[in-house]
Amino acid sequence: MATSAVSKSAGSPGRNRGFWAQFLFNAWTYRYLYLMLVLPFVFFAVFRFYPMWGNVIAFKKYQLMHGIWGSQWVGLKHFNTLFDDPAFLRVLRNTVSIAVFKMLFTFPAPIILALFVNEVRHMAYKRFVQTVVYVPHFLSWVIYGAILYIVLSPANGIVNNIISSLGMEKVAFFQKPGYFQPIVIISSLLKETGWAAIIYLATISTIDLTLYEAAIIDGANRWQLMRYVTLPGLAMTIVTLFILQIGFFLNVGFEQIFILQNNMVLTTADVIETFIYRVGIRQARFDFTTAAGLFNGLVGMVLVLLADRLAKRLDLPGIF
């Protein structure tokens, strides 16, 4: 058995090698495994790590003709500009608000949907439900946004027609700042919950059936099966996805928000991503944009580390 032989030799006690010697020994011993890592490593090095050097322009007055390194250092000027911008506080508040509500509603929704769909015993109906809830994911936000505009139109939208038929005043949903964030959350739920449930359904299908059998023998009802078998089986997936998602906490969905927002509702609709697009990218202020992006990334990284630590404290699996 080659593997056990390798394991023995690699870990055999009494072989007192230096670091590099040990490294080279391991590299040669596991050479085929390391070879398999080459392409992923190259990919990450070229497309993920190398571009990180570009973050340095957040601290420079970036000018194309001088390049990244030739451009003048300006320290934290762009960060000061960002934080001093009168719109930024509002933008940050909106971003956090939408992010929190999205996390509260859109994260658990697919778990709940997966649990319920898993309970459906009629296969044709189960497939029908799955298909219906998946379909909206395949519509782009451009199409979905247009549908929302039509459905919620104060002139002749179906929702307002119903409101009007009930004798109530029509509501201009896309013109009142108070409605914007609920529209974002609800439309996200309707569009993406089905798709996001797939991974949980797939995980549920891997849970050992004997656990269910044992629980049934012990007298568990369906609710208890869900509570004590299915949910614990999903726990690792839930925690991993939660930690990964929290890394993108401040990325609240540029496409969706950009399409749904208008000047009437910017008070609650302007978020960091739309702010970066409008002030940074459209004005070719890439140094400023990078500063804003770096801030976004740092917040995400801190949140990931905190979430990972919290998970471990709760005896749940982390990602590191």
Helices 231-246, 286-313: axis angle to 10 degrees equals 150
With contacts defined by CB under 8 A, how many residues of the chain interact with other proteins?
A: 50
Question: How far is it, in rounded angstroms, from Cα 169 to Cα 185?
Answer: 24
Question: How far is it, in rounded angstroms, from Cα 204 to Cα 231?
Answer: 9
Is residue 286 close enough to count as binding other proteins by CB under 8 A?
yes
Nearest distance from residue 270's CB to other proteins, in Å?
8
Q: Return the residue matching tokens 């992006």.
A: 293
Is residue 65 close enough to count as binding other proteins by CB under 8 A?
yes
- Binding region for other proteins (CB under 8 A) out of 102-110, 149-157, 204-212, 304-312: 149-157
Question: How far is it, in rounded angstroms, from Cα 246 to Cα 235?
Answer: 16
Nearest distance from residue 233's CB to other proteins, in Å?
27
Of residues 81, 164, 240, 251, which one binds other proteins by CB under 8 A? 81
Q: CB neighbours (10 Å) of residue 220?
A: 16
- Count of alpha carbons within 13 angstroms of residue 175, beta-carbon side: 7
CB distance 159 to 151 below 8 Å: yes
Of residues 153, 164, 240, 251, which one binds other proteins by CB under 8 A? 153
- Binding region for other proteins (CB under 8 A) out of 9-17, 27-35, 128-136, 187-195: 27-35
Contacting residues toward other proteins, per CB under 8 A: 1-4, 6, 31-33, 35-36, 38-39, 42, 46, 62-65, 81, 85-87, 145-146, 149, 153-156, 172, 174-177, 259, 262-267, 270, 278-279, 281-286
